[in-house]
Amino acid sequence: MNKTILWISIAASTFAADSVTFTKDIAPIFQEKCEACHRKGEMAPMSLVTYNETRPWAKAIKERVATRQMPPWHLDKTVGIQSFQNDRSLSDAEIAKVVKWVDAGAPMGDPKDMPKPKQWPDSQEWQLAKTYGQPDLIIKSDPYTMPGVSQDQWWKPTTEIPLSEPRWVRAVEMRTGTQAGRRITHHAIAYLLQQEPHNDAAPADPFSALAGGGILMEWAVGKQYDVYRSDTGKLLMPGAKVWWDIHYHAVGDSIRDHVELAVYLYPKGEKPKYRTYLTMFNAAASNSGSPLDIQPNTVAETENFHVLKAPARLENFQPHMHLRGKAMLLEAILPDGTTETISYVNNFNFNWMNNYIYSEDAAPVLPKGTIIHVKAWHDNTTAKASNPDPNQWVGWGDRTVDEMAHAWVNVTYISEDDYKAWAAKHPRKPAGFGLLSGNNQ
């Protein structure tokens, strides 16, 4: 028996003798952690809103929940930061409830105990609208028709951003134009093409001479938006354009779709203190770091190192690999030589490109000279269920059947004075005790 399932079964047996029912115990959990996808018209293959919809799937639900495959949250819960703005994982107690419910025959319970149905926004509504109102800008790529049978395609049009003055961005959200578009869209990157101001960036900002503006957002299944912390944002200049990099793959049906980017702006005249930059930290690449050389029927390990040229706060961690991706580790090697684990995804799933957004008081703040160490593992054996052919050599490439290994991280560079003020209030533990005292429990 799987050790995780065994442990959860033991935990479930410790519950009081009172029976666990769908209406009283399970429906509230599903409303909070599952219905975002598991309801009619959404991406999940079945709805888990009502008892009659849920009951036929009880055994499958137990297996997926007990092994922590669902809800999709693939972080190792024993190391690194464990406080996130968007944590959709189940607690041990919630998992134990689900297991006990299924083991008891998945009883319905008293209909009077059923919570009121959760009111979900229309699937075509922007998720961040409930926080910021309607987007200030909606930028759309030109449409593209993906044939039903085809090699992977990359669509790279440009779209003008309608601005007549500099404006600061506080959040962005991306989605496919239609539900059908989700089936063919592997990922979409919105690059920002613009002439950068000469004196806008702080002296410590290593991107002060950057031309082009960087990346506004990267979308993949499981990641819909980026929200920048208070007093941080991204700058848009008049005349700016979005250069799209949209990766489509064939699914058997001819589908025409586009990608949409919603932009939420700070009020006119309001300028945040710091710019944040969506940064690709490679764990392997074709031109740097360990070569991505995955031999047949092996588990390959690669790593890369990136030096922070100024003090910085890391806002999130989003691993990106393909079908053979197994695990990814994000570490900080401090200037004094100590190493701190930031995050470790030990059960990567290609179908869910989760973006783990650190909570305000847990986001790691690191000194100048810190080395960001990214290590990745790819499983090219029969043990990896999504592996299309373990007998093939695999290297770096853009196609779905090729591999990648990098982490998308929003990096906010801060001044030395701000870092010193932060460090005075947040003393680090001795080496080996984990990251950021008091913030990773």
CATH number listed for the domain at residues 129-272: 2.60.120
Does the fold of domain 278-425 match that of domain 129-272? yes
- What is the DSSP code (8-state) at residue 56? G
pTM, entire model: 0.78
Which residues have CB under 8 Å from 189's CB, separation 6+?
Answer: 215, 217, 218, 219, 244, 245, 246
| Beta strand segments in 63-214, E | 137-140, 144-146, 153-155, 158-160, 167-176, 185-193
How confident is the model at residue 206, as a pLDDT? Answer: 44
Instruction: Tell how strand 215-220 and strand 255-257 pair up.
Output: unpaired
* Mean pLDDT by groups of 10 residues along the chain of 441 residues: 46 55 94 87 84 94 90 91 90 94 94 90 79 94 96 94 94 91 89 73 41 74 82 92 93 95 94 89 72 94 94 93 96 95 94 87 94 96 94 91 91 93 81 36 33
Distance CA 345, CA 10 (A): 25
Tell me the residue length of the chain.
Answer: 441
Pairing between strand 356-357 and 394-395? unpaired
Ramachandran region, residue 436 (left: φ > 0; alpha: ψ -120 to 50; beta: rest): left
Q: Which CATH code, of 3.40.50.800, 3.40.50.10190, 2.60.120.230, 1.10.760.10, is assigned to 278-425? A: 2.60.120.230
* pLDDT of res. 291: 81
Look at residue 287 in the predicted model and tell me its pLDDT.
56
- Helical segments of 152-234, H only: 181-184
> Bridge partners of 245?
189
Residue boundaries of the structural domains of the chain: 3-113, 129-272, 278-425
